[in-house]
Amino acid sequence: MSTDAFATSYDEVTEVRVHDPGRIARLAAARSRRTVADTDGNMLIVAADHPARGALSAGTRADAMASRTELLDRMREALSVPGVDGVLGTADILEDLLLLGALEDKIVFASMNRGGLQGGSWEIEDRFTAYDAPAIAASGFDGGKMLTRIDVDDDRTSLTLEWSADAITDLARHELIAMIEPFISTRKGGKVVNDLSPEAVIRSIHIAQGLGATSAYTWLKLPAVADMERVMDATTLPSLILGGDPVGADPDAVRATWRAALARPNVRGLVVGRTLLYPADDDVTGAVRTAAEMIR
């Protein structure tokens, strides 16, 4: 067996991390890559960067994402469905998937700022605690994603905006996509809540797309809300629609909002995590296949 063979079990993943951690970099360098330019311009990306921010819930399960092996099982199942273009995650998850051979021929987006821990008093101050642009480039990945929440009543928002702008500029220097996920947010009862009105989303778009020294490599990651024709008229940037938390949601209603958003010419696909990985009926393949069919 080759020294750099893929791991065949989760126990072997741990063994590689103990005895041969350099295999991660070697497998990344040898990985069969597929880039955004290789697609038809539309993408389905499966996201799994929530745990790094301390957000483990999905639907009615408060600890749905607590088991790493269960999450990896679901991720590998999702990534095997035809029509899935790639994945979004933090280094721990992406490197597990890399060791298991699940990133071959996939577009990969790296999550960058996970420091705004869910429920933290500093939550709106989303520090960049995960990937940076040089690491993304060195790994042969396609871009970096940043959560950029804007609360005008919290002066720490200015730091998040500055850090996001710096990351966008640095990613562009490496010719990597900067995927910005902006929200107008406020704190209610100690919890950060995102305003999903069309007006708030439009405002967040205008703030986000002006960040950085260039917008040449900037994409947006946006919620599907009411009046998407007016919302998407706020930008010429390519945009992907996020899935959100499926708690209490009607799957058919969620898919209807995705379809409405996907009808806009500058909406180029979906970035969905928990809605596909933890569907109410637990049929991961079925949920992912339905999403893939909507895009193509």
pLDDT digits (tens, 9 = 90+) for 174-229: 999 999 999 999 999 889 999 999 999 999 999 999 999 999 999 999 999 999 99
Angle at 18 between CA 13 and CA 19, to 5 degrees: 100
pLDDT exceeds cutoff 50 at 2: no
pLDDT exceeds cutoff 70 at 113: yes
* End-to-end alpha carbon distance in the chain: 39
Domains along the chain?
1-30 (no CATH), 34-295 (3.20.20.70)
Name residues whose C-beta falls within 8 Å of residue 61's C-beta, 6 or more positions apart in sequence.
Answer: 278
Q: What is the pLDDT of residue 3?
A: 63
Q: What is the pLDDT of residue 1?
A: 37
Helix residue ranges, H only, the chain: 10-19, 22-30, 68-79, 91-99, 133-139, 157-173, 198-209, 228-232, 251-262, 274-277, 284-295
Residue 195 in 3-state DSSP? coil
pLDDT exceeds cutoff 80 at 244: no
Which residue's structure tokens are 């921010």? 53
